Structure 1
């Protein structure tokens, strides 16, 4: 169990040393992988290897790989590598002998789930029956071949009429050598009571995969521009909105917070409703009723194709998903978001009129209100009745949890702290994992930055600091390492008085500075959404950028390893 506790991201060290392959074969395999990544990056930017330094990069890459594989392991590292290899092999052997045990990765977590295989299968069967989202179909004909024909026919038609260019046609065309039907599996959600399951359809090699990716890349930026004002990127975004709400004088002693989420969102949305919502969205938000050379009718045909080919295998049977979209298809979240945007419009308009907060994160919604409990409940029940396919569960309180934030109204005073799910493990990437060292240097700093952004007072921040300290120690980080990087955080942010004596004035300053500094994800989103008239990146000509960036990134990673 000690190995499984290390989590999904843990990498046992130096396991290639025990391979039956020769060093030359291992190096060639690693080189081909890295070469393919670099070439793909260069190809994306329409670049070729023309400068001497670029060509030298590839030749030195193979040399570095060979040196790393040939280098003798230190004695202690060699002992540890052999011991962990033995543990992994013993786990595999035990699981082969115990079909009653199932081991799965978990939803929204980095730990493993170990449970009873029969109970797991019963939960999966119950889910399929209750959602009524899946229809068994006969296998008296080649479904894969039919889907391939549907995809190639549509792409040929779009290419012929000039809706897509030759490069887009090539990129979306199925790679016939790797084609296979999708298959359904379930992953547990241990952060929820009774550990329910989430259905995932592994659809990476189905004929319509690239069409689904193209639609997502095409429409996700459009959706983000439309819905940015009502979208929370993370818990930090929520805290900013709440502090502005306080500054605007909206927080009263009687203010309540509301959260609700949609149950089984991706399998409950009606197919026709999905398509109608998409059509209305496109007609409302596309200039000249098209994106680039793609007209609304072309986009709708591609969306129908993705939904029509939602066929997969499960327990040696064929199924078609007849409601909602498959979890595992790239276009799924964007299509569900568009449907729910239409469904929530009345709530959004009401909140805006009352100068209250409305914000969503996928299928979870946060709102503020100065109405009475009964008035809010009636409003939510009306939303509930709007579509019989959508079931929501809601909570109305003065203290509430949303994303990773606990929000409290303490008699008109806002308090925000970090929320830890009851079932959440204190997991951080183990220090003994075979990752580059710079990964570990960033973990304490990032954890403290998040705590300082979210916690509204210094006492709660200090409690979180202690929690981070314990989590690092539990995951085998040396105390001296933890102390060094904690001091680095406070020194760089000129906040040593917070560490030394919990100075609340200094903490308030660091809280505000970090809270209003955009995260990397927010900077990326801002670039995507700031130009409302910009074409989605997938339709833009690639920026040539810095010619050597791909090669430098790869070689620096090899050097760190």
Structure 2
């Protein structure tokens, strides 16, 4: 977990615009590839993330297929009605709003609640100490100045996602926290991740969802990437269309979208 003294360098901050949101806000991201805490972050993520995935699998949606399967289970129980509404919550800037000390306490609580007195031979208090280094010793460069992050974790550090998930494990039971700002939508037709969900008189309709600001770009087919990359792009796009489309019309619509996107990018597959 020790940093490489030769390659080690401070993280640097940059911003990605959220073009799909009003006003085009930006998402702050830190390039932490050679940062001093990166090895610790990677190691903690390697040993803690599998625990979270295992213990919270019943309350976690990992992708669109997982969501559709969960909804089908809900339907088999006879709970999906013509009056059923979908509700989605979007947490604003979760990574950057994590209260550091509280998050560390919740990490230890999470391990204790699920019976982990040691993880890979490491006691929870030592894990807390290592996690504290990742959160509190995060220093980065921006605009020729050096900053230290005092709230939240670095978006770009692998363990930050796992810490955020564990924080939400605790928070979702209490439904309130001053640092958590929610945006929600309710309706009979809503998007979640890359799936469009619609309740049509008690029948679930699903299809692939594309954000309004999404542009029709993939890796250009005239690039020098290995040919299997393009095969994978085609197969993945079609596989998603098959898994997400609840009716043939939805699949055909998505197939035409895929074809036009590939033609736009110089495909020879269409």
Fold agreement, TM-score > 0.5? yes
Aligned equivalent of 1:364: none
1:177, 1:442 → 2: CA distance?
Answer: 37
1:468-495 CA distance string (max 9 Å, x none): 11111111113xx32xxxxxxxxxxxxx
Aligned equivalent of 2:150: 322
Give the secondary structure class of the aligned counterpart of 2:156. Answer: coil
Give the secondary structure class of the aligned counterpart of 1:401. Answer: strand
Distance of aligned partners of 1:443 and 1:180 in 2 relative to their CA distance in 1, 3 Å threshold: closer
The structural deviation recorded for 1:232 is 1.6
Aligned equivalent of 1:521: none
1:428, 1:281 → 2: CA distance?
Answer: 40
Candidates 26, 30, 46, aligned match of 1:217: 46
Distance of aligned partners of 1:441 and 1:296 in 2 relative to their CA distance in 1, 3 Å threshold: closer
Asked if 1:442 is matched to 2:232, the reply is yes
Asked if 1:230 is matched to 2:59, the reply is yes
Distance of aligned partners of 1:459 and 1:281 in 2 relative to their CA distance in 1, 3 Å threshold: same
Candidates 1, 6, 28, aligned match of 1:199: 28
Larger Rg: 1
Give the secondary structure class of the aligned counterpart of 2:12. Answer: strand
Gaps of 5+ in 2: none
Give the secondary structure class of the aligned counterpart of 1:305. Answer: helix
Aligned equivalent of 1:451: 241
Candidates 423, 426, 430, aligned match of 2:213: 423
2:220, 2:101 → 1: CA distance?
Answer: 47
Give the secondary structure class of the aligned counterpart of 1:260. Answer: strand
The structural deviation recorded for 1:432 is 0.3
The structural deviation recorded for 1:191 is 2.3
Give the secondary structure class of the aligned counterpart of 2:214. Answer: coil
2:89, 2:152 → 1: CA distance?
Answer: 20
The structural deviation recorded for 1:445 is 2.6
Asked if 1:400 is matched to 2:229, the reply is no
Asked if 1:470 is matched to 2:260, the reply is yes
Paired residue total:
270
1:92-148 CA distance string (max 9 Å, x none): xxxxxxxxxxxxxxxxxxxxxxxxxxxxxxxxxxxxxxxxxxxxxxxxxxxxxxxxx
Distance of aligned partners of 1:290 and 1:243 in 2 relative to their CA distance in 1, 3 Å threshold: same
2:97, 2:233 → 1: CA distance?
Answer: 38
1:411-460 CA distance string (max 9 Å, x none): 11111111110000112221101112222233323212211110100111
1:214-254 CA distance string (max 9 Å, x none): 11111011111111111122111111112222222111111
1:184-223 CA distance string (max 9 Å, x none): 1111122222221111112222222111111111101111
Give the secondary structure class of the aligned counterpart of 2:15. Answer: strand
1:335-381 CA distance string (max 9 Å, x none): 111001110125xxxxxxxxxxxxxxxxxxxxxxxxxxxxxxxxxxx
Candidates 154, 179, 195, aligned match of 2:8: 179
The structural deviation recorded for 1:331 is 1.1
1:310-352 CA distance string (max 9 Å, x none): 1112112221111111112121111111001110125xxxxxx
1:296, 1:441 → 2: CA distance?
Answer: 45
Considering Cα pairs closer than 8 Å and 6+ residues apart, tell me whether 1 or 2 has the greater RCO. Answer: 2
1:291, 1:270 → 2: CA distance?
Answer: 24
Instruction: Provide the TM-score with structure 1 as the length reference.
Output: 0.47
Candidates 120, 123, 141, aligned match of 1:292: 120
Give the secondary structure class of the aligned counterpart of 2:28. Answer: strand
Asked if 1:270 is matched to 2:99, the reply is yes
1:34-63 CA distance string (max 9 Å, x none): xxxxxxxxxxxxxxxxxxxxxxxxxxxxxx
1:407, 1:469 → 2: CA distance?
Answer: 23
Candidates 185, 201, 209, aligned match of 1:411: 201
The structural deviation recorded for 1:269 is 1.5
After the TM superposition, which segments of 4 or more aligned residues of structure 1 sit over 4 Å from their partners? Answer: none
Candidates 327, 331, 337, aligned match of 2:165: 337
* Structure (1/2) with the larger helix percentage: 1
1:215, 1:444 → 2: CA distance?
Answer: 35
The structural deviation recorded for 1:286 is 3.6
Gaps of 5+ in 1: 1-171, 347-382, 483-561
2:59, 2:169 → 1: CA distance?
Answer: 10
Aligned equivalent of 2:130: 302
1:188, 1:286 → 2: CA distance?
Answer: 41
1:300, 1:208 → 2: CA distance?
Answer: 14
Give the secondary structure class of the aligned counterpart of 1:476. Answer: coil
Aligned equivalent of 1:527: none
8 Å CA contact 2:95–2:154 kept in 1: the answer is yes
- Aligned-CA RMSD value: 1.4
* Structure (1/2) with the larger strand percentage: 2
